[in-house]
Amino acid sequence: MEKIYRWLLAVCFLVIAFTVPVKAAEPKVMVTDYKVKEDKITAGGEFELSVTIYNTAKKNVKNMKVAVLSEAGELLPAKGAGTAYIEQLNAETEETLVFQMAAANGLEEKSYKLMIKLNYEDNYGSPYAVEDAIYLPLQLEQRYSLTDLTIDGKFILGEELEITGMVNNLGKGTLYNVTVKTSGDNISEKESYIGNIEPGKSGSLDMIVEAKHLSDGTQRMNYITVIYEDEKGNKQEKQEKLEQLGPASDIAITAPVYENLEKVKEEKTDTKTGKITLIVGIVFALAVLIFWLSYRKWKRKKKILEEF
């Protein structure tokens, strides 16, 4: 009886061994890289996201469905449903998928979590599910404009000119450490610090430059550069031609106007002649006075002698 039992048990093991497939080791698929084409993501803007998926296993996988989604809908598919399909991913190979995404309006400037869900099968049709997460930093858009730009003063070589205007924050993020700098052919290089400008606010520009070179009838270029930083200290700067910011910003430096040299010479000559005439007059008057006094003295002496 015991032999029959052992024989039946051995037959059962053989049946199981030949009828039930043996599973291979569980496939391991993971996200190994991702990239944003635009280099930065802004609230309300679209971006292209590339995701690289790698099959680390020694076996192929198939029927892979890839889905991207954020926890609270901060990052959404701009086109389609945010899903992609890979028919087969061979062992130890990778494939890169591209998704068109959009960031919701009104987001704060920070990193947002994006989930990447992978559902696939092995060669035996057994299902697997993997979930990876990537973190995408979001930046608020920074834009500005220069308005009310005026230049006051005499456009004469060596004179000082006062440049005033407004730097307006048109973006959704704060402009940090805003600085304005001048340069060019006609004016001296100067730098003016304005400070931080919040969204929707403006900063006043007021700086003194020197008229450095004559225009000489040729077109000379002068520039004004606005420099600012984002929240992380990344510096941005934009240079604009001063002459293109409005009619009041045109700079044409002229030479100082001197008086007519001939007229100056005549005035000096007349002054010199007048002085000589005055001196001659005084000398003549003194001579007449001396002659008259001498004559009176002589006449008085003669009268005394005649009386004796």
Report pLDDT for 94: 96
d(CA 243, CA 95): 52
Residue 270 — pLDDT band, cuts 50, 70, 90? low
Residue 155 — pLDDT band, cuts 50, 70, 90? confident
* Range(s) of the domain holding residue 64: 25-139
Is the confidence at residue 272, as pLDDT, over 90? no
Partners of 50 in beta bridges: 35, 98
| Tens digits of residue pLDDT in 39-51 | 789 888 999 999 9
Report pLDDT for 297: 72
> How far is the first Cα of the chain from the last one, in angstroms, to the nearest whole number?
206
> Which percentage of the chain shows pLDDT scores above 70?
79
Is the confidence at residue 22, as pLDDT, over 60? no
Domain identity same for 124 and 181: no
Report pLDDT for 226: 95
In a domain, 275, yes or no: no
Domain end point (choices 232, 249, 266): 249
What CA dihedral angle connects 163, 166, 169 and 170, to 10 degrees?
A: -110
HSE (side-chain half, CA atoms, 13 Å) at 65: 8
In a domain, 107, yes or no: yes
Report pLDDT for 4: 60
109-118, 133-142, 211-220: segment of lowest average pLDDT: 211-220
Domain identity same for 243 and 158: yes
Domain end point (choices 139, 154, 176): 139
Secondary structure string (H, E, C) spanning 57-107: CCCCEEEEEEEEEECCCCEEECCCCCEEEEEEECCCCEEEEEEEEEECCCC
Tokens of 70: 């954020």
Q: Which residues contact 296 (CB under 8 A, 6 or more apart)?
A: none
Mean pLDDT of the chain: 82
